[in-house]
Amino acid sequence: MQDLNASDSKALRIKQVAWSCFKLGVIGFGGIAGMVATIENEMVVRRKWIEHQHFTDILSTSYIIPGPNAVEIIMHCGKERGGRLGLIVAGVCYIFPAMVICLLFGYFYQKYSAIPNVQDFIFGIRPATTALVIGAVIRLSKGTIKTNWRLITLCLLVFAGSMYGINEVNLILVAGFLNLLISIRKPVMSFAIGLAAAPTAAVVGTTYSNTKLFLIFLKIGAILYGSGYVLFGYMDESLVRHQHWLTRQQLIDAIAVGQITPGPILSSATFAGYLINGLTGGVLATVAIFLPSFFISFFLHKVVTWARGSQRLRYFLDGLSAASIAVIAVVAVHLLGENLRDIKSAIILLICLVLSFVSKKITSLAIILIGSIGGYVVLIISHLLA
């Protein structure tokens, strides 16, 4: 009977992981900062599956390994709740909504030679997401740097460097090493972070094959670093200039679809794959570009678990955490500036900020829906008054 109860408990946890990650995949707007904000609100604040410190460890480590940060973070959270199966379920359920939406966009694009105009429907999502990002920065700061002046100083330095335009991966690594050196007060002989080896693929000629498509996107998924927008450069080189499977305009449209749909911008690969070879191409491109993240997430989980038991690595991760909060804060500043330029966006932002701080029980989904509906209503009113 005890085994049966344990089995039921495991099944229940997997169901919880599946539903939470699917929901987050549906509302994952706003780039990496917006997605991190919704994940943090769901996994740390509401469900309390992991602690703030643990979450910032995952976040900071994800910045220095290849692949989509949000997907790796949510898979780690799934692993914490449901074991290895939870990791896989979390990743699949988080990616699935964006894949389906991009496949639909691909169908309409090929049928009508245009992307459906959904701007009015998502107008209010950006200010709502901005409110979530600001809330996440405040919560993560309280849980990580607190009154530690060394971490506060590192955070401010990284913030300034990021605003200046210095590469975020370099800033985060330097912050981690500095905090380690200052904390132990002696030289560190070596510290290595393992990276997944990038698979190589022969991509000579323009003849299409499903295997070649799969290997191209597999390679991109394994070596993609930093911002998701780096994806444009990789896809331009492989799909436009070398293979000539897409035109540059089609690639630009693919990136646009990745921006206006929920989930990671890597979902642009689904749209591009659909344009190249229909449903088969879309599914193959999606599986290939996200597959490395599943392997990397097993590595990420082991590194974070090991590091939490090592004092020296604890110092290193504290520096990474402070730096990653600064990077998200820079995104919050940029988003705030964009929303304050328009009175309609500013009104929605203020409402969502007040709601998120007044009620701790309000969900990210509720904030996103309030922002979306509010934005649509504001646009209708402004059109009527015009």
Quickly list DSSP for 261-302.
SSS-GGGHHHHHHHHHHHHHHHHHHHHHHHHHHHHHHHHHHH
Q: What pLDDT, in 10s, does the model give residues 265-318?
A: 788 899 999 999 999 999 999 999 999 888 888 776 666 666 656 677 778 778
Per-residue model confidence (pLDDT) at position 272: 94
What pLDDT, on the 0 to 100 scale, is given for residue 305? 66
For residue 308, give both structure tokens. Answer: 């939490």
| pLDDT score, position 197 | 34
96/43 Cα distance (integer angstroms): 19
The pLDDT value given to residue 259: 67
Give the pLDDT of residue 199: 40
pLDDT digits (tens, 9 = 90+) for 180-223: 888 776 444 333 333 333 344 444 456 789 999 999 999 888 87
- Tell me if residue 335 falls in helix, strand or coil: helix
Enter the pTM of the model.
0.65
The per-residue pLDDT for 126 is 76
Q: CA 276, CA 257: separation in Å to the nearest integer?
A: 15
Please report the pLDDT score of residue 360 as a whole number.
67
Q: Do 136 and 30 meet the contact criterion of CB atoms below 8 Å apart?
A: no
Distances in Å between the Cα of 270 and the Cα atoms of 76, 96, 264 are 23, 11, 11
Residues of the chain with pLDDT under 70: 1-8, 30-31, 64, 113-122, 143, 167, 169, 185-206, 225-230, 233, 256, 259, 300-310, 360, 365, 386
d(CA 243, CA 363): 44
Q: 């999606």: which residue's tokens?
A: 286
Tell me what pLDDT residue 237 has. 76
**Is residue 327 within 8 Å of residue 63, measured between CB atoms?**
yes
- Within 10 A of 84 (CB to CB), how many other CB atoms are there? 11
How many beta carbons lie within 10 A of that of residue 279, not counting itself?
12
